[in-house]
Amino acid sequence: MKNLRFFFCFLALLFSSEIVLDAAIPEGHVVALPPPEALPDSANLIPWPQAGYPRIAEGSVADARAWLLDAPAGKHGWVQVQPDGRLAFEDGTPARFWGTTLTYAGAFPDSDADIERIADTLASCGYNLVRFHHNDLPHSGLGYLRNKTKDSPASAIELEPESIDRLDKLAAACFKRGIYIHLDLVDSRPLTEDVGMPGWEELVKMEDQAGWKGVWPHPAMIEAWKRAATALLSHVNPYTGRAWGAEPGVVVIEALNENGPFWDWGFKVTDSIREWHAADWNAWLLERYGNRDELAKRWTDVLGRCGLHSDEDPAEGTVYRPMLAPIHEWDRVNTSKSRGPCRINDFYAYLADRTESTHRLMAEHIRSFGHRGLVIGSHELRGPINQLAEARATGMVAAHLYAQPRLAWGARPGVKGVTIEGVDVKNNNWYANLPRIKVAGMPAWNGEWTGGSWTRRADVNLGVATAHAFQRVDGGAQFGFVQRWVGQPMPDFDQTFRYIEWRGRIAQSYTSGLDPTWRIANIFGSAMILRGDLPKSRYKVHIALSAEDVHEQNLHASGINGGSGTVGGASLFLPLIHEVETAFFDEVYDGDADIVFTTGRSASGDYRAAKHGIILGDNPWCDRYHQKRDLAAPARILHPELHVESLADADFTVNWPYEVPRTLKKISVEAALAVESLPKGAMPIGLSADGKWTLGWCDGRFLVLPNAAVYGDTIADARWLYRLYLAAAKRWDLGLENRVDSAEYLSDNGVLVTDWATGTQIVDSPNTQVISGFAGYRAKNETANMSLSVDSPYAVAALTSTDENPISKAKRMLLAAMGRVANTGMEISTSKDGPRLTKTGSKPTRVECLHGELRLHGLVNTDLEVFALDSEGRRQMLVPVKRENGGIVLTLTPEWKTIWFEVCEKGTDGPVSPGGFKQPAGPAGLLPSEEPQPGTLSLEDYIAAISAVSHEEEKVPELTSPDGLTRLPMTHPEEWKSYQAYNNLKVETATREDGTPILRWRVGGHTQDWSGGGWWNVTPLGGLKQEDVAGFAFEFCGDGTMPREMYLTLKLSNGNSFKTRNISELFEDVSWREVVLQAGDFSGKEGIVDFSKITRIDLACVGPLMESRHVAEIGAFQLLTRGVAEVRVETLAGSLPEPVSLKAPSLVIPFVEAADIVPDGDPSEPAWAKAI
């Protein structure tokens, strides 16, 4: 197996049988693949009628307004940050926020009556927060800015009286119901004349200028922002009598949405803006270092490699400004203009300085209007230094943590953190994101998120809410409740996925408010958060970063671009066990955490004050300029008597914490620790063959592993860090119940179980209990007061008390038991690439009822009644239940025509459906599920498989030059034609000093394309076989920069194609080198590449090439053959038949071996011109 993708493809083939599911998976097994997206059986679907603004009857148990919201908003005073970073109102009332988003026309209902309806709907769902998002547009019905008229242009600053009045009314209606507001200042503002930006006419032609992208922190934009903020925040809402900037109901004000110096996604800007950014970068360097000599000195590492090139001088504005890009390696060439550590570390520091100063200025301006609530500068995107800049500027950190379908499933080992793709942050292990917003001593805010699949969504809402509650995230806003356009009526059926015209396909519409399962699940999520139903974690963990860690970019950043918090991926499991925060310090850690994890980002930090510490090493450099190297430096601080040496090709045997010892063969260890120098009583982690050296140790307070990276790379255990942590926690008597031989993560407060083997999560708190995900795969689904048995994989069951009592003593409770959701007429088709949503359907939306049994037990009152509720939360049926063993047994069946129920004492008042009670037909017999039996494998086999894959994936092929091979020419640079270059590439022919022909590639800066490349047609050489060819080679010289990606693709005569890994690092080397590519450097669907059949070579760069520029010189491509003395080249003449005379009519076609006009000629050539 080459990689994890192939591994799961293997699982898909192995476990594709259609056996009927009749039982949960065997204990100790893992479901190999999630069930494919499919529509529920129509027999299990019931219609769920709803209005455009869904209503919940007053007095219903489902009306969260009565038992969750605390109206009116602002009655407790301003929200304030407490010493521990949590929030409380001025009168001491705890403050927690769980919200949704109104976007575009969604925030401008068509009538006053609709304003009241949407406010009621939001409140009844349990939302106490609404974000006003993308409302800053100069279009009536979409935004509140002044519209274009025949007498005046549109404005990005001034308010439109009629439009702002509608927003005023909506805000007042929300405040009345206890709903607070998250107010954005810049989302979609256009560049208009009154912004005052030089060259705005040219900028406005670019595609990315909605929301003032790519122009921060230009002084003209800062002044425009201040005027825009002033116009809105000084505006007095006539329905509250207070200005927006002095309204305690506005809990948070966001200065910039997804914008600022760290949000460099290749936004399309003009040359003058690019030049301004470059000049500002150079000015910062000059201010910081004073002159070129001092800069060159600081950018020279301990090996004498200077990151400043001879043609660069900050005084002349010529120091290259790199682009932001994922960086996962610490061992990079310092001379690289794109990734050199000194340059990149300073570039991030520059961005952080500009972010902090800009957002501090914005926060001060916002507060000048009387705002005493929270302020968000923008959103963390680029790791710890971005986090810290936001935190220092505004006192809090926010991010947009988008969730994927099957949240609990994504917690399985072998799945890493997020990758960035456009604005949406798509990820696998969503939980790795949480330390991005959790900073010690500061509020945490998840300002934008959504998730779910075409039919399964309730589990994602509950999963995110559970994480917020357990991690004590202070606020969050799902995106969104409704997003609609002017003139579009409010839809009355599910719109979560619909055809998006500008995308040209069916996609996420950011309208979740018409999905009944989402709204119902949200009530339980709101209860967990707003009431604080989940008890506090027993232990707090800090992922700690010293100042040097912060400035080392961008290794092991939580969530970002696949990072997972630490070497070994602590963020992949810690947020499911403990409360986790990111903690910043200068040189000496002084936090209050129970356990501290270091990241391995640098070899720095004094952790002697930590209660317990997991001290991990990866990057051996102690400082951001790579002028001191000592991988064991933090270990030496903990234990100064430590003796350290470097070992090469050493064998180590690791006993603890394994039951069966593991051997690491011929590894190079930079910081081998002498066993005799360890702290007294310490347990060594691994022993050398002579027993004198170890890789690390564990004692009564610390687990220290300076060689964590090499340990993790060679131990062949995907859970090595989790295993070490649990072993250390046992030694430290922390009392954790987690086991490394289990697929469940157990929270340390005893209320949360995340079963990644089945993709199920269980919440067991006194007031709210949830079983959510693929519960049908579990043998046992039980909480303190509820148990669930179902015959289909996907199921969500939730129970919450709606009075002041815990569930065991509650007199009135809300119960939900539901599956998937699908509109009438929705279609999911199958294709070679998997399921496809081909039709989104129409009303009515239908919901899936479960088949099975739900038991309520451990209740003081066992004489409770169960009512089936209609879509507005009214009683439509008294459900017959069984009472046995001191509990209540509810049969789950579509016969009840509902997915939610009221459980209450006899005599409890509640609204009844207009038609009165329906008589139940009685529960139908349990139907056999048509879901396929899932493929499973044992937990041991699963871990072994992903460990082997992970181990293989670390082995990146090296580009080396083999000896003893014959080089045969494949291409000739002097024959290059202009049409061989495409998109953002210009090519010119040139020669080296010795006269060798070469091509000079200039990539980027020519067009607005993201890609640029060239191709060569190649004639296969006759007489060669696959075994005759070792690979091919070409010479390459870069300019020190590096495009984001570069790939070389081969097409063969048999139609197969093969592609290299990303080889963009070739640009970093400014000297000529021979690049040799062999079979191991290529991947394809058709096995191993046969170089003897190459017919075409493509070399292409990908990235924000409209903003970046890169130059390379490339020599001829040469085939590398093994001992082939003579090769016959198949010529065109030799492959054609002899010319013949045709009969009736007579025509002779002579073959001409040499022609003036060649088939692949360029029309600009003289021969072509003459022929034409």
Q: Do residues 1043 and 1102 lie in contact, with contact meaning Cβ atoms separated by under 8 Å?
A: yes
Q: State the pLDDT at residue 563.
A: 74
Confidence of residue 211 (pLDDT cuts 50, 70, 90): confident
> In the prediction, which pLDDT does 209 show?
64
State the pLDDT at residue 932. 67
Buried b (16+ CB within 10 A) or exposed e, 596-615: bbbbbbbbbbbbeebebbbb
Q: Which of 568, 657, 654, 667 is nearest to 947 (CA)?
A: 568
Cβ(628)–Cβ(575) below 8 Å: no
pTM of the model: 0.90
Write out the two tokens for 896.
């009840």
Tell me, rounded to whole angstroms, the distance of Cα 84 from its chain centroid.
28
User: How many residues are listed for the chain in this entry?
Assistant: 1172
- How many angstroms separate the CA atoms of 556 and 618, rounded? 10
pLDDT in tens, 796-836: 999 999 999 999 999 999 999 999 999 999 999 988 888 99
Query: What would the 3-class secondary structure string for 247-316 be?
Result: CCCEEEEECCCCCCCCCCCCCCCCHHHHHHHHHHHHHHHHHHHCCHHHHHHHCECCCCCECCCCCCCHHH
Instruction: For Cα atoms 895, 897, 902, give the angle at the middle one, nearest 5 degrees.
Output: 110
3-class SS string, 75-118: CCCCEEECCCCCEEECCCCECCCCEEEEEEHHHCCCCHHHHHHH
Q: What is the pLDDT of residues 105-114, one digit of tens each?
A: 999 999 999 9
Residue type, 801: S
Q: 1066-1100: per-residue pLDDT in tens? A: 999 899 999 999 999 999 887 899 999 999 999 99
What the block records as the tokens of 544 is 């700690």
> Pairing mode, if any, of strands 579-584 and 936-938?
unpaired
Angle between helices 161-176 and 112-124 (to 10 degrees): 40
* pLDDT tens, position by position, 35-84: 889 999 999 999 999 999 999 999 999 999 999 999 999 999 999 999 99
- Domains defined along the chain, listed by start: 79-270+351-403+442-489+515-530 (3.20.20.80), 966-1135 (2.60.120.430)
The pair of structure tokens assigned to 666 is: 């011929």
Average pLDDT over residues 344-350: 96
Contact residues for 460 (Cβ-Cβ < 8 A; gap 6+) = 403, 404, 405, 406, 407, 451, 452
Distance (Å, whole) CA 672 – CA 662: 18
Average pLDDT over residues 96-118: 96
Closest among 459, 523, 393, 503 to 121, alpha carbons compared: 523
Q: Give the C-alpha separation, 1055 to 1046, whole Å.
A: 22
- Between CA 825 and CA 845 the distance in angstroms is 9
pLDDT of residue 1101: 96
* Residue 892 confidence (pLDDT) above 70: yes
Cβ-Cβ contacts under 8 Å for 394 (sequence gap 6 or more): 359, 360, 363, 374, 375, 376, 377
Local confidence band at 1170 (pLDDT 50, 70, 90 cut-offs): very low
| Contact between 1021 and 968 (Cβ < 8 Å) | yes
Q: Looking at the predicted structure, is the pLDDT value of residue 924 above 90?
A: no
Per-residue pLDDT for 459 more than 90? yes
Output the pLDDT for position 35: 86
pLDDT at 803: 95
* Residue partners of 503: CB distance under 8 A and separation at least 6: none
For residue 27, give the DSSP letter.
Answer: T
**DSSP category for residue 582:** E
Q: What are phi and psi of 543, to 5 degrees?
A: -90, 105
Q: How many CB atoms lie within 10 A of CB 925?
A: 8
Measured between alpha carbons, how far is 761 from 407 in angstroms, rounded to an integer? 9
CA-based nearest residue to 876, from 43, 48, 117: 48
Helix (H) or strand (E) holding 547: helix 547-550
Would you put residue 669 in left (φ > 0), alpha (ψ -120 to 50) or beta?
beta
Amino acid at position 204, single letter: V
With a pLDDT cut of 70, the percent of the chain lying above it is 90
35 Cβ contact partners less than 8 Å away, ≥ 6 residues apart:
774, 793, 794, 931, 932, 934
> Band of the pLDDT at 268, cuts 50, 70, 90?
confident
Could you identify the residue written with the tokens 């609404």? 130
Asked if residues 520 and 465 have their Cβ atoms less than 8 Å apart, the reply is no
Distance CA 1104, CA 687 (A): 48
The span from the first CA to the last CA of the chain, in angstroms, equals 56
d(CA 140, CA 1144): 75
Residue 935 has what pLDDT?
86
pLDDT over 90 for what percent of the chain?
78
Radius of gyration of the chain (CA): 32
Residue 594: pLDDT band (50, 70, 90) is very high
- Rounded to whole angstroms, how far apart are CA atoms 128 and 526? 9
For residue 20, pLDDT beyond 70: no
Q: How large is the greatest C-alpha to C-alpha distance in the chain, in angstroms? A: 105
Confidence of residue 989 (pLDDT cuts 50, 70, 90): very high
157 and 233 in contact (C-beta within 8 Å)?
no
Read out DSSP for 804-832?
SS-GGG-SEEEEEEE--EEEET-EEEEET
Cis check: omega of the bond before 684, within 30 degrees of 0: no
Q: What is the distance between the alpha carbons of residues 712 and 717, in angstroms, rounded to a whole number?
A: 7
Q: Are 935 and 33 in contact (CB under 8 A)?
A: yes
Instruction: Determine the pLDDT at residue 422.
Output: 35
| pLDDT (0 to 100) of residue 929 | 52
10 Å Cβ neighbour count for 733?
8
Q: pLDDT tens across 714-750, in order?
A: 999 999 999 999 999 999 999 999 999 999 999 999 9
In Å, what is the CA distance from 530 to each residue of 288, 693, 694, 872? 47, 53, 50, 23
Q: Is 784 exposed, middle or buried (0-12, 13-18, 19+ CB in 10 A)?
A: middle
Q: What is the mean pLDDT of residues 643-649?
A: 97
Report, as an integer, the average pLDDT of 160-188: 98
Residues 390, 341, 1061: CA angle, nearest 5 degrees: 100
685 burial level (CB within 10 Å; 0-12, 13-18, 19+):
buried
Distance CA 966, CA 1114 (A): 20
In the chain, helix, strand, coil percent, each to 5? 25, 25, 50
pLDDT of residue 1022: 77
How far from chain centre, in Å, is Cα 390? 19
pLDDT at 347: 97
Query: What's the pLDDT at 134?
Result: 96
- Beta-bridged to residue 598, according to DSSP, are 544
pLDDT at 1163 over 50: no
Question: H or E element: which one contains 226?
Answer: helix 219-233
For residue 370, give the DSSP letter.
T
Whether residue 233 has pLDDT greater than 70: yes
Task: Look at residue 212 and give its three-state secondary structure.
Answer: coil
Whose tokens are 């708190």? That residue is 765
Q: Which structure tokens are listed for 1125?
A: 């003395």
Of residues 954 and 159, more confidence is placed in: 159
